[in-house]
Amino acid sequence: MKLKRSLTCLFFTITMLFSQIGYAASIAGVFGPKVNPEDRSMQYRFAFSPSDSDDGVPRQIRHRIHYQQAFYNDFRWRVVAQVGNTGEEMRFENVAAELVWHFKKANQDNWDSAVRFDFRNARGGRQIYGFNWTNEWKLNDKWATRALALFAWQSGNNANSGTIVSTRFNALYSLEGGHKVGVEMFNSYGRFGDTGSFDDQAHQIGPVYSGKYAGYNYQFGYLNGISDGASDHDFRFWIGKSF
């Protein structure tokens, strides 16, 4: 019980400290902590951000595909490849490897928690290392919420120094047939100790809808930028299949 209270207090302390770099055609998700021991699946993601003539930002498109597989009940590995374009040219952006450890399973407190370790090799010879903490609370039979804290470090060519911090949140309502509707929020604060003002950061919020059809899982989402450092409009679509 003391461990649970300590971890919960630490998480919300972290997120409050930084609630004060930018997304562009964001293809990331508010990923949960749970690992299905039988999981073997693939997913394709698409994100589109229209051009903004007022800010001089061109149209942006991203495509991503990943494969993931669980092992030892509480662990899951994933490999990712991503490409994107700004304007007309489609270019490689990064390949990545991820490892999730679902170390805290829900009991009477209805709280699941996991950590995820990332390594990304990005275009231009830059490496990105990530440590992420994801939590999910089941509030009742219909409602659940997630909260994530993410930390990243860079090395190699054109690397940014310091620790880059972001958080993500969602609230989801379960419908019939495995469908869900809710709201998501993404916050990127920049470098620890040098976060700047709210408008220097990237904050987005928007609706999300997910479901299942003919053996496939899908998700539609929209994110609206609420700070100057964020993309104004991101339209997102995911589709996946388990094996």
In this predicted model, what pLDDT tens digit does every residue of 170-218 receive, in sequence order?
999 999 988 999 999 999 999 988 888 999 899 999 999 999 999 999 9
Determine the distance from the C-alpha atom of residue 13 to the mean position of all C-alpha atoms in its chain, rounded to a whole number. 20
Instruction: Locate all alpha helices (DSSP H) within the chain, ordered by sequence.
Output: 2-17
Burial grade of 43 (CB within 10 A; 0-12, 13-18, 19 or more): buried
Closest CA to 55 of 230, 243, 240, 237: 230
Instruction: Provide CATH code, domain 2-242.
Output: 2.40.160.40
Q: What are the tens digits of pLDDT across the range 80-135?
A: 999 998 767 889 999 999 999 999 999 889 999 999 999 999 988 999 999 999 99
